[in-house]
Amino acid sequence: MSTIKIIDDKCVGCGQCANECPFGVISMIERPEHPKKFKLAKIDINKCVYCGTCVEACKFSAIELQKDEPALAEVDNSLYKGVWVYAEQRHGEISSVVFELLSECKKLSQELSVPLSAVLIGGADISSKAQDLIERGADKVYVYDDPALAEFQDDPYTSILTALIKQEKPEIVVMGATNIGRSFASRVAARIKTGLTADCTALSVDIQTRNLQQTRPAFGGNIMATILTPHHRPQMSTVRHKVFKEATIQKGRQGEIIKVTKDDSLLKNRTKFIQFIGDDSSKINIADADIIVSGGRGLGGKEGFKLLKELADLLGGAVGASRAAVDADWISYSHQVGQTGRTVAPRVYIACGISGQIQHMVGMNSSDIIVAINKDPFCPMMKAANFSIEGDLFEVVPRMIKNIKELKK
């Protein structure tokens, strides 16, 4: 079992560790022997996750961390080669997130000097899509087609992808963080007993160790974590739609299409797909909007969104929201931008009363132009904005609406 402790003699009670602990599990307590003079750091062992941030923060080497290396059966990393993208399809069409993953994973495969492969699982005629993947940068495409696989179901998809991974041994497998990807990536990782990192916002590789450095917002907070899967292969990640730019099409690009040998035992299925019912009504497609007017906690209530809607309508844009506003039930979830909502990259993103927590920022910081309206000039959103307006949005936005209306006349 890993252990962590404070060496009482060395701790000077500066509190640096408590400040830095991303989990807030360190508190400063009185020292019985020096009441009111020096404090002593105390770690709540029940909540500590042994991340080691405090050890690095302590200038007095007063924190001792003994971290057990994972004892989970390790694999010989050198047996694993290649970067894979799971080529998600929906009703026979490749999801666009796949093209984004191909562009980013291409870079990884080049750095590692290995081929980039895509895995395509689907109905009888899905192999016709394989060439599209090659033209977007895949060197190899593994295809498993069967009429039973036309629509996504966890059991057979998990079995097929797992079997293929075990056989071909890729070192990296990246999937879209879509409902499909998130549903069965976890199952695949659990069956192989390897690590899976959700919703990565950046991927890079360390050439020496060939470790994939997976960065994502973490701990429900304003911090990022870089996560490794050092002793297991493949290293698995999911990445959300719109985080990376789509790979361009290289017409006529050559690659290898590999038809995977069929094995009917892989099609064993405990669920049955009955039907698909399309419904776009509840879906406000903020991901496709050119201009987004977005509101956060500063709106103070439902009423504020009416104001933003008016501005958005005038600009021909859509209304977005931060999680705080959605949690408060001021607006529906389909408008949410950020880590737990949608990732967007519009031409102009107008953030009204949004302070800019990291989870929100990762969902919109690839916007071309960011406009922020906020009372607090020092909040992260104002710092990230190309145009920052310090003021009360309830005073500024109505005047903007008035001005634009006059211009339109």
Partner 1 sequence: MNIIVCIKQVPNTTDVKIDSETGRLKREGVESIVNPFDEYAIEEAVRLKEKNPGSKVTVITMGPPQAESVLRDALSKGADEGVLVCDRAFGGADTLATAYALSMAIKHLGNFDVIFCGKQATDGDTAQVGPGIAEMLDIAHVAYVKKINNISDKSITVERLMEDGYDVIESSLPVLMTVVKEINIPRLPSLKGKINSKKAVIKTLTAVDIGADEKRIGLNGSPTQVKKVFTPTQKTVEGEKFVGEPDVVASAIVAKFQEIGIV
Number of neighbours of residue 278 by Cβ within 10 angstroms = 6
Picking from 343, 374, 338, 346, the residue whose alpha carbon sits closest to that of residue 289 is 346
Compute the least distance from the CB of residue 50 to partner 1, in Å. Answer: 5
- Residue 362 DSSP class: T
Compute the least distance from the CB of residue 70 to partner 1, in Å. Answer: 6
Whether the ω angle into residue 234 lies within 30 degrees of 0, i.e. cis, is yes
Give the contact letters, 278-297, x = binds to partner 1 (CB under 8 A), - = no: xxx--x-------x------
Q: Which is nearer to partner 1, 103 or 365 (CB)?
A: 365
Q: Which stretch binds partner 1 (CB under 8 A): 110-118, 153-161, 247-255, 259-267?
A: 153-161
Compute the least distance from the CB of residue 85 to partner 1, in Å. Answer: 19
Q: Which is nearer to partner 1, 37 or 408 (CB)?
A: 408
CA distances in angstroms from 24 to 15, 43, 221, listed in the order given: 12, 9, 11
Contacts of partner 1 in 170-199 (CB under 8 A): 178-180, 182-187, 189-191, 193-199
160 binds partner 1 (CB under 8 A): no
Q: Which is nearer to partner 1, 6 or 141 (CB)?
A: 6
390 binds partner 1 (CB under 8 A): yes
- Say if CB 142 and CB 260 are below 8 A apart: yes
Q: At how many degrees (to 10) do helices 393-408 and 302-315 cross?
A: 30
Give the contact letters, 99-138, x = binds to partner 1 (CB under 8 A), - = no: ----------------------------------------
Total residues at the site for partner 1 (CB under 8 A)?
122
271 binds partner 1 (CB under 8 A): yes
Give ∠ CA 301-304-308 in degrees, rounded to 5.
145
Contacts of partner 1 in 8-67 (CB under 8 A): 19, 22, 24, 44-53, 67
Distance, first Cα to last Cα, the chain: 72
User: Looking at 14, 28, 150, 225, which residue binds partner 1 (CB under 8 A)?
Assistant: 225
Q: Which is nearer to partner 1, 5 or 34 (CB)?
A: 5
Number of neighbours of residue 158 by Cβ within 10 angstroms = 20
301 binds partner 1 (CB under 8 A): no
Compute the least distance from the CB of residue 139 to partner 1, in Å. Answer: 27
Contacts of 102 (CB under 8 A, 6+ apart): 85, 116, 118, 133, 136, 137, 138, 247
Q: Tell me the sheet residues that pair with 319.
A: 293
